[in-house]
Amino acid sequence: MFVVILLTDSIQNDEIEKLSLERSALYRKCRLEEIELPLLEGDLRNVPMEEVRLSCNPLVYGILITIKELT
């Protein structure tokens, strides 16, 4: 049972990291193509243009997006 929990945590961590990298790639694309995002906080200029694995925290670049304005 302990092994199953560890494998589940590992899979979840891998998924979180994958989603974090996808989000960062999207930020880079928006920055590069000058696509405006409805930001509550931060600036896309804080997003490095190269891939960096910093954290899974969505505020790692100080960016917070308002979802209401995207729909």
Instruction: Report pLDDT digits (tens) over 15-62.
Output: 888 888 888 888 899 999 999 888 888 888 888 888 766 554 555 677
Segments making up each domain of the chain, as ranges: 2-70
Q: What is the pLDDT of residue 1?
A: 47
Report the predicted TM-score, pTM, of the whole model to 2 decimal places. Answer: 0.63
Q: How many CB atoms lie within 10 A of CB 48?
A: 13
Token pair, residue 20, equals 């974090």
- Reply yes or no on whether the pLDDT at 63 is more than 50: yes
CA distance 70 to 6: 37
pLDDT exceeds cutoff 80 at 9: no
Q: Which pLDDT score, from 0 to 100, does residue 5 have?
A: 55
